[in-house]
Structure 1
């Protein structure tokens, strides 16, 4: 999440050159090349069902990246993250079986609600941007559910192929907006750095975590994203938080810690498939 937050701050600065869709293409395209070269998915014997799962995983992954960056064109980063988190929280509620989990989820929702702007400022938020953020949240929920199934087989190679599918989804949109600007040395270097920060490192770690955590725990732990976003904004964008925003972040942190502590005594679901190298 720390890597994703830093990458998001960096990505916003690229919008002026290649747009949100061009930035998405650079991120996902370079990430797919890096992970395919590392994991070498051609050495795996894939079944048709596994390839279908990888394709669905790539659709959710590419769509999630594209819609989230589209939302950042017109609404603030913190607002977009808070709205997008509705997807993981929906997964947490769907898979939860304990009353205590719902209590922690309620606290996380309260924290996210405090992060949303209220009053006159809320009326100035672009409805299209809000719609893109909601779409990103729905796709994020799908990414968690499909990703856990994919992670049980060949997580590394599947991640590389999934990112390739995501890059193919972003390709026509990125080329239409950015065109030849995508091929300048500066943009290629920026895209490589963005791919490492925002895709290659965090998605590899997420695939590892998805194999070892219950889906509801993983979903609520992702509510730490606003914390990382706030720290990234403070470090890289010189953003300051109001007291109510710090209170919101405190609620989210407490909820995440509560869910993690509650899951500590429960064994994760059995994993089928080899351990990643």
Structure 2
């Protein structure tokens, strides 16, 4: 890997992470009008259009063995983004994204054969205790939503790997995104009709779809051509930090020093768990793992 290619890869990964979290913060600006459900519906539709164009799935050629994991993937994707955005609405971007990252961390630790996995698990557990420690302002429903998003992301990763083995390229992810977008059609149409959203709210929701789906997908594909998958996984584990910083700058969401320290520990645990060697596939978001 030349220095120039590595530099380009790092730039793309930084751009992907920032775009993803800025998209989430822009989507949050539309919550007062559309709510998390409306914003997620629009995001799912954008993701479906982008991935259908990129993957061009041959749906008629899918058999039962392909459709079963694709449908599971679609449900996991739909639930993951809904629970994440609902958590963002209640507990803020930084905390919600940090809790969600426990999902890929759990997958990485479950597949690790190193003793350091135990240390990562203990460190992450302690950090979670600090993050969710009881306080007068603690929103337990928001924390539960963030943890549910983590479970959904773990399921999404495992199902995506199954789909990747049974379907070539992006076909499986594209089909799952299309099904997920279709699942949101009824509720999305009702929300848009009843809320009578302003042009600004619709643009924010569309911006969330483009910045959190289209841009990261393209940037990740280009980055993975320039850096090893394990390096990609390590670097992308800084997303909770990006989320906390963007939540502070864009949404005015402040975290106390203990929460920042806990986020740093969880990011470190993610990075260590992801650094399993050059041949290891990044467990966090390789190519189409997270449209």
Q: TM-score, normalised by structure 2?
A: 0.74
- Aligned-residue offset at 1:222: 6.5
Alpha carbons of 1:126 and 1:98: their partners in 2 closer, same or farther (altered >3 Å)?
Answer: closer
Q: Quick check: 2:48–2:178 contact (8 Å CA) kept in 1?
A: yes
User: Residues of 2 paired with 1:58 and 1:182: CA distance?
Assistant: 28
The worse-fitting range, judged by mean Cα deviation, of 248-257 and 42-51 is 42-51
* Corresponding position of 2:88: 72
User: Residues of 1 paired with 2:176 and 2:279: CA distance?
Assistant: 30
* Corresponding position of 1:99: 115
User: Residues of 1 paired with 2:178 and 2:185: CA distance?
Assistant: 10
* Corresponding position of 1:10: 26
* Corresponding position of 2:172: 158
Show CA shifts across 1:235-263 (max 9, x none).
Answer: 322444433233223323332332344x1
Alpha-carbon RMSD = 3.2
- Aligned-residue offset at 1:266: 4.5
Q: Quick check: 2:127–2:265 contact (8 Å CA) kept in 1?
A: yes
User: Residues of 2 paired with 1:256 and 1:235: CA distance?
Assistant: 24
Alpha carbons of 1:121 and 1:181: their partners in 2 closer, same or farther (altered >3 Å)?
Answer: closer
* Corresponding position of 2:12: none
Q: Where in structure 2 are the equivalents of 1:124-143 lying within 5 Å?
A: 125-127=139-141, 129-143=142-156
Equivalent residue for 1:248, pick from 236, 252, 262: 262
The secondary structure found in structure 1 opposite 2:157 is helix
Equivalent residue for 1:179, pick from 187, 190, 193: 193
Show CA shifts across 1:80-127 (max 9, x none).
Answer: 3343333333323322222112212322333343333533333xx153
User: Residues of 1 paired with 2:159 and 2:235: CA distance?
Assistant: 18
* Corresponding position of 1:200: 214
The secondary structure found in structure 1 opposite 2:62 is coil
The secondary structure found in structure 1 opposite 2:113 is coil
- Aligned-residue offset at 1:55: 1.6
Gaps of 5+ in 1: 270-277
Q: Which runs of 4+ in 1 moved over 4 A?
A: 180-188, 203-209, 220-223, 265-269
User: Residues of 2 paired with 1:182 and 1:196: CA distance?
Assistant: 22
User: Residues of 2 paired with 1:184 and 1:39: CA distance?
Assistant: 32
The secondary structure found in structure 2 opposite 1:119 is coil
User: Residues of 1 paired with 2:174 and 2:79: CA distance?
Assistant: 16
Is 1:21–2:34 an aligned residue pair? no
Equivalent residue for 2:238, pick from 210, 221, 224: 224
- Aligned-residue offset at 1:17: 1.6
